Structure 1
Amino acid sequence: MTRIVQIVPFIGPGTGVAGVAWHLQQELQALGATVEVFTFQSARRGRSTPRSSRNTILARIRGGWRMIWFSTVGTRCAKQYLAERPDAISICHNNVVAGDVYVNHGLLLASMRARGRSWWGIYRNPVHDFIYLRDRIRYRGRTHRVAVCLSEGEADDLRATYGPIGPRIEVIPNGVDLDRFRPPTPEERAAARSELGLGPDQRVGVFVGHEFSRKGLSFAIRGLAYGPSALLMVIGGNDEIIAEAHAEAIEHGVGDRVLFLGVRKDLPHHLAACDFFVFPSAYEANALVVLEALASGLPVIATPVGFAPEIVRDGENGYLVERDPVAVGARMEELATLDDESFAALRRGARASAEAYGWREVARRYLELAERLEAERSGAGTDAASADRTTG
């Protein structure tokens, strides 16, 4: 039986890195593996974690402190933890510089360059300097045996950012909960739309994300001027950036066609009210939400970043577009005015394209990787023992 240790700052059902690790844990266990988890809390040995703050500045300071602490002290603690489990294959998801496998959930430098930041704009922040140096050690050295990238594009970004990579690169995309994210029944759709005051014939696009700037909400809002038949629902953000986005919508004369919902935990319920997904992001390592939208039967309008160019096919399950309001708006208008039969075919294509990426199948690929690493380790041990006998 394969023994796996996941190293991750936090783990739990939901979104982001914590959710990825949680889904992998559930499915790896279902496949017969033994799975343990080493977290920020494990490294602190049960001491309480500082509470999160509603103050944005304090939250950033605490988040930066946790990241640096888990990258340094947490690395030492994780190595001790793994030394006590020499038979385990370890999968590290963030911060800690230890583990057989490192899952690259994103590259800060690639993300900032994609948004047009200058080198000075990047490196004047000491936290950015720390991350660059930490990850240069991670990627140029031999700490990890394998670096998992979540898309082919991210593998290219990794090489472009750090040059020759020490660990070998394998691409395993993220998965999606195909039971939770699914096309709604007519009753579910009607109920979700009724709650939001949407008419049965209105075509509604949806944007989901907390970083409005990087994920391109502005292009979707301005795109409404070129997609006069569409409405836009926005899920995510905080009071400050929602106010800024609302002001932009009013400035461009589309304020009455944008519905800001803020953070919503029951994402499938709200996706059930929508007709297509809009995501003109500048940078993504994978973007779980693209898979979640497709699995929910929503055609996707997305820029060719992250996993989108590997799964979105023009006219089959959505469209790839430039990060330009005219291009985004034109596709929004096309979907908003498409006849019902053609639109239903797009929705079926969206769901079908996501079905190969259930978490069970993704976990199977991680388990196969772990088993190969086990075999390589055993083979290396056998070769070393044989060499010792020959020398003797």
Structure 2
Amino acid sequence: MRVHGEEVTGWRRHFHSHPELSHKEFLTTDFVEHTLRAHSLSPVRFPGTGLMVDIGPSGGDRLAFRADMDALPVTEVTGLDFASTVPGVAHACGHDVHTTVALALACSLADNAHLLNHGIRVLFQPAEEVMDGGASQVIEWGGLKDVGSIFAVHVEPKLRVGKIGVRTGAITSAADVITLKVTGPGGHSSRPHLTADVVYALGKVITELPGLLSRRVDPRTGTVLVFGSINAGHAPNAIPESGIVAGTIRTADIATWRVIQTLMEELIAQILAPTGCSYELDYLRGVPPVINDDVATALLVDAARSVDPQSVINAPQSSGGEDFSWYLEHVPGSMARLGCGTGNGPSHDLHQGDLVVDERSIGVGVRLFASVVEQFGQVPGESSPGSDFLS
């Protein structure tokens, strides 16, 4: 059953208008499974949501491609004919495009499975948008068994459609969340010497911790601490009994990420010791940075150039987090930025309700993945299984 561009666009619009939050991608999983089976493939569902499908011969290390499926708790305001039909939920991060690219690749490869001399696996992963990401669960469920390398794309509205951003090394950052609760006996603001000043203690943490961190961590690691929430007290003349400050800490360096929690605990203890306050630190480990393998990235560059010699650009390192990193803790691979900017009107951004992507990026993504298969030596001959999807 041949896959056509209009059909693929229809898949994307279906996903876009029926978004589902993390771990709730039931309808999306059903749609992907039904489509794969219609192309004579035999997908295996994960517990809950998500699935994977193997194509081609067994044995040896498979070449894997990953797509995330979940949407965000964001209200869509695009006005598109196929806008979200689910109140307060939208594909504002482009995972509908990722799922469509992977589904089109799998169906195209199924139609050429007799040409494959190496196994392919396509992973449709749930729950990328929540900590610590669905990727770790997919790995527990055997998603990387017999996989030798893995690739992915992420849409980038800041890049014009047709452009593919590549980068060796860190392309995203680790992203952890800290929540610090500071407590004291409370008291009257006229007698601060008789109590422990929780607000003052919180102020010291907010102002001193980022500076101390910058003196203990190599600045070349791109490590940054930002507080986004602080809550304490109600009355101007009362020192409260407790207060909470919360924020994120990000780093592009995997070695720094492995030790940053211990360092944060040490610095917070030192800052708060003179205040007389007690505290509780909740440190939520997120995901490590995506560290693109140099060999896999070189293969990705060659694949992108075969799609369009002018397509490749050097992607900047992002401070955002991505759970594709968990796969790269186990096997080499690379993630590319897939340009989806229309070039018309204002530039949109990810995680915003007005995100609009140029659907031609789907064809570019399929061609890129199909070219990776070719560059990896899977499909002999002149044409790629995804060559119909560039326009």
In our comparison, the structure showing a higher alpha carbon Rg is: 2
More helix by share: 1
Higher strand proportion (structure 1 or 2): 2
| TM-score using structure 2 length | 0.26
* TM-score, length basis structure 1: 0.26
